[in-house]
A and B are shown apart, each in its own frame.
Chain A
């Protein structure tokens, strides 16, 4: 797996009177057949990095190479055959049909008049097929749902038939099934058609499940590159997302919303009922632990009841709803 794109001491940011440097000394690599998710909190320079890598922003320093060739030495027409993008910019709804939109992706290959060859038609058809858009291909973009339109935008990038695709928040504004669907398709594409795919996203869950590697932008602007599991275990993930109101739970791979007055309850069991009780406690702002000490919550399968014990006293609840109201009423938690 050769590296398709790499950078040498790249500096990103905005030029002008007050130069604003966002990230410095970036040495990054994108390989083919690999999905990389770029994760970072809002405002940490995700879009800046993607725009710099895709050539919309000039780097403040350092170099970007595509297939070993410096990006500024590549003509726009040639670059368009190496790199395609899907931007966050929401496309104005339009009379344009899905087929016409996807066809635009072939423009780097057609002549001045834009006449299509057999190959061009084939590629457009293929791209439409990959995103399962055949039933929609003659529909106007304005009549599509957000998810369908996003798939059409991705199909346009696919028709451009480039070894590298960069997508800036392709799953924003979409519901869960659509998000999962799009990420799955992108991953399949990367592996089957040997493309390098760079995705920026806010969707931690999905990124952790799909990405082959993650790029994390750290608070100091540096970018850490690694396999998702490693980044979680070595604490990089928590470091990248330092937020007061949330803590990263390594055991579940999720961010937990925390309150200022948060407490802790021990839920040592592993049954289904206890799993969901744990989720409910986390939702109302409590931390859970596995140690059997202090305030303890257990599920009694014989009576179908939750039993909570604190200072030798115990309370019983038949449902999670009742459990929560008891906990909140009696303040049944240990201070942290």
Chain B
């Protein structure tokens, strides 16, 4: 083991270092570029001295770009780790954070708020609420996700087969989305537009207090995932082997669902439904580290997820222009070809899993 483990350790450490350097580089670039270009030395000044930099730049950096970069990092981390959980639980390379219907639940919550129309929470009322509106969106998305989560937990206690749970999750997601469609059909065009904008996803954060909450949620989700890593490893062999090795599979399944719901639900509540990252990143991580141990897979998925999210955000800002593209479209547009390349390169989808 000794020789074997040393070469193995140094190789993942090397990957970790260059990926981390890449992430730092991307975060700096995402603060530098956007509709206005801000030189590196000015960013340095803005961060380290209160009065050194131009106040406009100071405000762009602190109030817009830094929160957005951090939100992207946290969303990337959360979605990727959540996706990894689902792929391991269902032993299915196509599973992602949305398979349990929890993200659709968040959409339903937001639809309830934005398309509510008749309620006092019409969109004009919302806009007047300013910062509070963001909190309302968050709270409704979170409530919607929680309702679906309880349905899924109820089912997971009753069924023994994970495939059944997977199908139920996808069906619950479909039901939720069709409810949203019906609701849209009867809504005013302005409300539908506002709802659509939410579904495009966005890393724009309004306040540091929101980021603060997001940070602690993502952090605790990550730590809980690491605690689950031993169980996740045994579950790679399937339920029966896991049971034979002393794993309490039903308890393990509920823990995995709860952690996934926490990560995916809160991310969707903050950023809207962001697709692709959760499914694709674990595959990229596997292709890079060529290992299945979750003690490596979780941190690497988190790191690569952050890189992808920040990179997609830079592209979505269309540097030098006044336009911003929907992040949801960019993650799929940039990411899908990358995944196709990686999987074709490894010649064997199952081997990559």
Q: Which residues of A contact B (CB under 8 A)?
A: 54-56, 76-81, 83-85, 87, 89, 91-97, 99-101, 104-105, 107-108, 110, 112-114, 121, 124-125, 137-138, 140, 142, 160
Contacts and interface: CB of A to CB of B under 8 A. Distances in A.
Contacts of B240: 56, 85, 87, 89
Nearest to B294: A114
Given A107-B234, A107-B245, A100 B4 contact: no
Contacts of A101: 237
Interface in B283-320: 286, 290-293, 295
Closest 8 CB pairs of A and B: A80-B246, A114-B230, A142-B351, A77-B246, A96-B292, A108-B246, A85-B244, A76-B246
B351 A79 contact: no
Contacts of A142: 348, 350-351
Contacts of B247: 76, 107
B337 to A, nearest CB: 22
Nearest to A166: B244
Nearest to B292: A96
Q: How big is chain B's contact interface, by range?
A: 20 to 34
B352 interface: yes
B1 A99 contact: yes
A137 B8 CA distance: 13
Nearest to B93: A92
Most buried by B among A84, A95, A97, A140: A95
A85 to B, nearest CB: 5
Contacts of B236: 94, 96, 104
A77 B320 CA distance: 60
B4 A94 contact: no
Nearest to A91: B237
Contacts of A95: 286, 290-292, 351-353
B52 to A, nearest CB: 46
Contacts of B352: 95
Contact of B1 (A80, A108, A110, A121): A121
B174 interface: no
Contacts of A99: 1, 4
Interface in B94-126: none
A114 B291 contact: no
B239 to A, nearest CB: 9
B243 interface: yes
B351 A113 contact: no
B292 A80 contact: no
Contact of A97 (B230, B246, B291, B295): B291
A97 B291 CA distance: 7
B15 interface: no
Nearest to A92: B350
B353 A92 contact: yes
Contact of A94 (B230, B244, B248, B353): B353
Given A79-B246, A80-B245, A110 B230 contact: yes
Contacts of A160: 244-245
A56 B351 contact: no
Given A92-B353, A94-B236, A95-B286, A137 B4 contact: yes
A232 B233 CA distance: 45
A100 to B, nearest CB: 6
B323 interface: no
A121 B353 CA distance: 26
A94 B290 CA distance: 10
A137 B5 CA distance: 12
B244 A84 contact: yes
22 contacts: A54-B244, A55-B243, A80-B244, A80-B246, A83-B244, A84-B244, A91-B238, A93-B348, A97-B291, A100-B292, A104-B236, A104-B237, A104-B241, A107-B230, A107-B233, A108-B245, A108-B246, A114-B295, A124-B1, A137-B4, A138-B4, A140-B351
B351 A114 contact: no
A10 B232 CA distance: 34
Contacts of B187: none
Given A76-B248, A100-B292, A125-B1, A85 B241 contact: yes
